[in-house]
Structure 1
Amino acid sequence: MEFCDECGSMMKAEDGMWVCGSCGYEEPKGDSDSYTVTEGQEDSEVIETSKADEESALPTTDAHCPKCGNDRARWYLQQIRAADESETRFFICTECEHKWREDDN
């Protein structure tokens, strides 16, 4: 990735040149043999994942589900407030999939 010396915008690779999309400044790509930029490889494989796959990869802990009473839940942290405040911990019950959160008060 290169940035324009004139305006600071990100430059695009076009025909052996770096071209700025904002101001039009161009400069030759140096050492272009060390890497190649490809667009859409035919033999690339797409791996589909479902939300259930993502949830099952979460760590588990002892937590009491308020809906079914199960004592095991998957959990993750997410920043939902200002950056200077702590993260919120979310739990997902391993039995009924009920989701709840625990805030630091």
Structure 2
Amino acid sequence: MFCKKCKSLLVPQTDEKGRVKFACRKCGTSSRSKELKIISVNPKRDKLFFVDKKENNELPITNEACPECKHRKAYYWIIQTRAADEPPTKFYKCVKCEHTWRDYS
């Protein structure tokens, strides 16, 4: 909601009687909404999964060096673990020693 007087964003506040009102931080105007709706957001959590040996043969292989054994072949997969405006996370699993690591770039 926006202030009718100065067009700034109205923020919810409670008045002295505990009722919710919308107030403008810029000009101080306040008003109560007749159609106040409280929305609760419960984000859905993604399921965690594991990559085991029998699934590795289905994953693509890249020439990424393992930080543990320095072998230059690794399975990889990509998952969006952060906000949508950030790049996805790349996960790697060494073909030789099976060490798993990630790359956020």
Instruction: Provide the TM-score with structure 1 as the length reference.
Output: 0.49
Computing the radius of gyration from Cα coordinates, the structure with the larger value is 2
Compare the two structures and name the one with the higher helix fraction.
1
Instruction: Provide the TM-score with structure 2 as the length reference.
Output: 0.49
